[in-house]
Amino acid sequence: MVEAMAKKARRAKKQIEEVVQFALGHKTRVHILILLNEDTYTAGELARLIDQPLNNVHGHLNKMLEDGSIEIARQERKGNMLQYWYRAVEVQYYSPEDFEQLPYTYRQNITGAILQSGTAEVMAGFFDGKLATPEACCYWDWYNLDTKGREDAQALYLQFLDDIRGIEIESTNRAAETQEETTSMLLDLMYFERPRKGRRRELRETKSANNE
């Protein structure tokens, strides 16, 4: 859970931002994270799936576990040793209203866990060339919005998420009839206030007015 992630980060004398940055800072850790987004795995299973030496994978797992970037899902005794299954940090769903009531540090820990999982998926897709395919969509920009504009934009992306879930349900039902194998498509949606004011929109408008 997110609470355990925060506690381990403190014991490691790190801020949650440093924990996430470290977890995403190596290709092997990125591929470990996307596998743990799907299911629980042992170190041996992870090593086979990402084609890396077991001792190398163990080293990354131990460091991420120490930081709280991943969790132990369960353990079993195998002879004189314990076998561990690892998983991604579990995050509870919060409505915008419930999330607003949480303390800031707790909210930051939750967003850190989500950012870690989502960014790992994006980076892994980038490493494998999946973002450069015709069906992929890569876009970013900033928008200077007033209060009403921010409210409208927030409502729009929440509706968008509901629509995507509806499309997935329809796809699942069709695939059950046609026996078509579905394809995992990643949606990594973010909407937040920039740390600094963006001037690009204002400059574009001024330039356009001057050209008329």
**CA distances, 87 to each of 61, 133, 141 (Å):** 11, 29, 33
CA dihedral of residues 175, 180, 181, 182 (deg, nearest 10): -50
User: What is the structure's pLDDT at 53?
Assistant: 97
Of 81-85, 182-186, 194-198, which gets the smallest average pLDDT?
A: 194-198
Looking at residue 121, its amino acid is E
* Interhelix angle 43-50/54-67, nearest 10 degrees: 120
Mean pLDDT value across residues 19-39 = 96
What predicted TM-score, i.e. pTM, was given to this entire model? 0.81
- List the domain range (segments joined by +) for residue 168: 139-212
Longest dimension (CA), the chain: 80
Is residue 121 domain-shared with residue 83, that is, in the same domain? yes
**CA distances, 59 to each of 29, 54, 82, 117, 121 (Å):** 10, 9, 17, 20, 21
If one counts the domains in the chain, the total is 2
User: What is the structure's pLDDT at 5?
Assistant: 73
pLDDT band, residue 200 (cuts 50/70/90): low
Final residue in a domain of this structure, among 76, 109, 134: 134
- CATH code of the domain covering residue 22: 1.10.10.10
Final residue in a domain of this structure, among 106, 134, 162: 134
pLDDT band, residue 199 (cuts 50/70/90): low
Is residue 115 domain-shared with residue 172, that is, in the same domain? no
Is residue 173 domain-shared with residue 106, that is, in the same domain? no
Is residue 122 domain-shared with residue 173, that is, in the same domain? no
User: What is the structure's pLDDT at 169?
Assistant: 96
Is residue 177 domain-shared with residue 110, that is, in the same domain? no
Is residue 119 domain-shared with residue 27, that is, in the same domain? yes
Final residue in a domain of this structure, among 69, 102, 134: 134
User: What is the structure's pLDDT at 27?
Assistant: 96
pLDDT band, residue 61 (cuts 50/70/90): very high
* 154, containing H or E segment: helix 147-178
What is the DSSP code (8-state) at residue 101? T
179: tokens are: 């026996």
User: What is the structure's pLDDT at 96?
Assistant: 83
Is residue 16 domain-shared with residue 112, that is, in the same domain? yes
Is residue 55 domain-shared with residue 146, that is, in the same domain? no
